[in-house]
Structure 1
Amino acid sequence: MKLNSGQLPWDHTLLNKPAYPVLGEDIRCDCLIIGGGMGGAMVSYRMSLSGADTVLIDKRAVGSGSSHANTGLLQIANDKSLTSCMNTFGEENGVLFYKLCQQGVRAILELPGKLDIDPQIIPRSSLLYASVPEDVPALKLEHENLTRHGFDSEYWDEERVRSHYSFSKPAALFSRGDAETNPLRTVHSLIDKAHSGGVRVYEHTKAIRYEFNEDGVVCHTENGRIFAKNVIFAMGYETQEMKKDRGAELINTYAIMTKPLSVVPKWHEQSLIWETARPYLYFRTTPEGRLIAGGKDEQLTDPERRSVRVLSQSQRLLEELVALFPELHGIEAEYSWGAVFGSTRDGLPFMGPHPEYPHCYFIEGYGGNGTVYSMIAAELLADTLAGKKRPELDLFSLTRTAKPVPSPAIQS
């Protein structure tokens, strides 16, 4: 699957990427991780802390799949609001999901001091604005539910939004506790640390087929076999080529990164910005003084069609950016790209075991919060493989139906 089109933005921020060999022999391990993107990076790092004998392989270079197109917004709030999660899954499960996301963001914010390569993880506030006046009542209800369950949320009226930003919107929710990151640096920093902690890493090593046996899994590659007691598939959206999840949907999404700014816009705390409309637009700053804008999601098309659409969609994103911040008139995009993006119909990611794949676990962080989901999955799966039961996995079951299994008490 060709995951990305256009000019990808992150290579210039990490010129000397760590490199790893191609597998050339038969090996054995306790845990084999398939995929060197964000999911594989998070879980390989977590497995290195547990001391498990772990191997990671990727058919490409590390970090060159979907993570290369990631725009690096890390938020507690999700594409599906807390209110909607409570309505769909019940109050306990809905709050549990948001609490897990909160714990995930906090765990990510603790990473920089533990890694040898700076991942550029920076704490940020977030502004979620009402796209139209009709969205204000739902925004007020979301604020009430967030604050009732202990989440940081301030309700801002139109005047307060206008006083802090160049634009005016009917209302907004302002919150703290989120973050931004450089996804390419984050992936490489995690895998580099995992490697120094004993995880064996092989790039350009494609899994050709698998044998599922009573005592484990045999992964066949072009130049060697890997005998693993357990396998974690962290292949992102390409998982759908291996097994089709009925609840998963793939689309095209687009993003731009501007040239460094000569004008500082009226942008409170350099917050992450997004909106209530679906599909939504989102915006963030970078440490280099650039801006990122993303959205304009549309039906999945072939890679050639997506490549053609990058130019027109990037122009539309520039127009949206200038509409919010008129002082940026004349700004130019230096990087413009399109990518495959996955979501689920019920708004929750997939993670955990699957009955048709013995000794196997999956990380499918579908949705706008994929990096946070990857951290959640890394914690839950590492504990599971260490023999600690994590009933929270029931919420993210790959075989779930409309109503998830009731979940345990929430741990804050």
Structure 2
Amino acid sequence: MEKGFPYMKLYQGELYWPSISPEKRVYKPLKKDAECEVLIIGGGESGALCSFLLGEYDIDTIVVEKNKIGNGVSAGNSGSLQFMSDKMLSDMIKEIGPENAIYFYKLCQKALDEIARITSQVEWSTGFERKHSLYFASNVKDLHNLKTEYELLSKLGFPVTYMDKAEIQSKFPFSKPGAIYSLSAARFNPVKFCQAIIHEAAKKNVRVYEDTEVLKYDLTGKKLLFETSGGTIKANKVIFASGFETLNYLNTKKISLTRTQIVVTNPIGEGEKWYENALIWETKRPYQYIRISDDHRLILGGLDENETEPVNDNSELRKRSKKLVDSASELFPNLELKIDYEYNAVFATTFDGRPFIGEHPAYKNAYFLLGFGGNGTIYSMMGATILRDLILYGYHPAAEIVKLGRSMKNK
């Protein structure tokens, strides 16, 4: 049997979402051997969405989470959703051709709509709310590519408009050369999201076990075997939805670990602080982003670095936090911003900006949902849909675009 998953330190500092999202339901750990059709390893966003979709089709499913639902990587999520990827559509077309690139972007848009559908059906609040987003040119030299991207998205029917410098100045308290204004974005609470969706899956007879760690596993037999801290699970299929902990299964040259800084400020009061309180991000790489939380705080993120571990020194943590606050204050000088929560977290990105989703080429019936990148929740929803169809029908038209074994060479 293979050993279980290595421990990875995911963040340094105080997370915001768990502090405002108390557990509403506790799931007991596994205490005896079990069998199922599909085992899902991981109770974050990817695992939750997979469990919900499989539960809709009455697939005999077990979810195991070694800690608490929604309190792994998902707890460090910014809680922002949009169909636009970190990689522009025009750039993706150069790599995989127009048909595949446009289809991928359409799947991202569909994933946002599917998240809206699911959150409208669950019993508990997820904090999901439709929003718009402003993607501005950080400088004049980025303006040409931004306009080209807008024209492409608009021509293909994506819900976007363009704002020039004068319009930005009239609607926001800052000036930028130009921006794409997306009419398809959203915000949500990632911890409540996981809790609510897993709760709904459990109501559909999905078996959920918290505090249940996979210690060893064997993917070579007709039945897949998993030795956990509470008993052995036999499954016909498995979905690895535990993020970084599965990297030993993949070509690590295709994946990079990055650390990022997040600050949540003091409450800034109710009402509209800028045009439609839209989500804000920019063309500069690494980019910074801003959104407003349900309790009227600014959530600031950015300062990404190619490092595999979070910042450990608290003085360095505070230094990065002050940089984010200073940048936000330049955009919104009328707001008095203080740091209430701050943390530095590790996330993964892929070599081509697309997630890794699908069956492992060397292990039959072992599926992976690795929604790596800045658009992770959208990728998780896309991946859950793709894996559901692969499990039910053995096919999904996007499987080739996101498969684990795809080449690092551009087409």
Cα contact 2:266–2:337 (8 A) shared by 1: yes
1:171 and 1:156 map into 2 onto residues whose CA distance is 6
Q: What is the aligned partner in structure 1 of residue 192 from structure 2? A: 185
1:256 and 1:304 map into 2 onto residues whose CA distance is 14
Q: What is the aligned partner in structure 2 of residue 158 from structure 1? A: 165
Q: What is the aligned partner in structure 1 of residue 245 from structure 2? A: 238
Task: Report the TM-score, using the length of structure 2 for normalisation.
Answer: 0.95
- In the TM superposition, 1:15-54 aligns within 5 A as 15-54=22-61
Task: Measure how far apart 1:388 and its partner are.
Answer: 4.6
1:137 and 1:288 map into 2 onto residues whose CA distance is 37
Cα contact 1:23–1:205 (8 A) shared by 2: yes
Equivalent of 2:369 in 335, 357, 363: 363
Cα contact 2:309–2:346 (8 A) shared by 1: no
| Unaligned residue ranges in structure 2 (runs of 5+) | 1-7
Task: Measure how far apart 1:242 and its partner are.
Answer: 4.8
Task: Report the TM-score, using the length of structure 1 for normalisation.
Answer: 0.95
- In the TM superposition, 1:11-410 aligns within 5 A as 11-262=18-269, 266-303=273-310, 305=312, 309-328=316-335, 330-402=336-408
Farther-moved stretch of structure 1 (215-224 vs 52-61): 215-224
Aligned to 2:359, what secondary structure does the other structure show? strand
Q: 1:275 to 1:351 in 2, by over 3 A?
A: same
TM-superposition CA deviations, 1:79-110 (whole Å, max 9, x none): 00011111111011110110000000011112
Aligned to 2:252, what secondary structure does the other structure show? coil
Aligned length: 404
2:288 and 2:279 map into 1 onto residues whose CA distance is 11
1:149 and 1:303 map into 2 onto residues whose CA distance is 40
Cα contact 1:76–1:101 (8 A) shared by 2: yes
2:272 and 2:183 map into 1 onto residues whose CA distance is 20
Aligned to 1:156, what secondary structure does the other structure show? strand
- Report the residue type matching 2:183 in the other structure: R
- Report the residue type matching 1:146 in the other structure: L
2:313 and 2:379 map into 1 onto residues whose CA distance is 26
Task: Measure how far apart 1:29 and its partner are.
Answer: 0.1
Cα contact 2:10–2:73 (8 A) shared by 1: yes
TM-superposition CA deviations, 1:330-366 (whole Å, max 9, x none): 3112110111111111111100011222210000101
Q: 1:258 to 1:66 in 2, by over 3 A?
A: same
Task: Measure how far apart 1:301 and its partner are.
Answer: 4.5
Aligned to 2:365, what secondary structure does the other structure show? strand
1:304 and 1:147 map into 2 onto residues whose CA distance is 40
Task: Measure how far apart 1:309 and its partner are.
Answer: 3.1
Aligned to 1:97, what secondary structure does the other structure show? helix
| Unaligned residue ranges in structure 1 (runs of 5+) | 406-412
Query: What stretches of structure 1 move > 6 A for 4+ residues in a row?
Result: none
Q: 1:319 to 1:101 in 2, by over 3 A?
A: same
2:115 and 2:230 map into 1 onto residues whose CA distance is 35
- Report the residue type matching 2:173 in the other structure: S
Farther-moved stretch of structure 1 (5-14 vs 97-106): 5-14
The answer to whether structure 1 residue 2 and structure 2 residue 2 are counterparts is no
Farther-moved stretch of structure 1 (70-79 vs 233-242): 233-242
Q: 1:309 to 1:241 in 2, by over 3 A?
A: farther
Identity of aligned residues (%): 37
Q: What is the aligned partner in structure 2 of residue 408 from structure 1? A: none
Task: Measure how far apart 1:19 and its partner are.
Answer: 1.1
TM-superposition CA deviations, 1:100-126 (whole Å, max 9, x none): 000000111122321011101100001
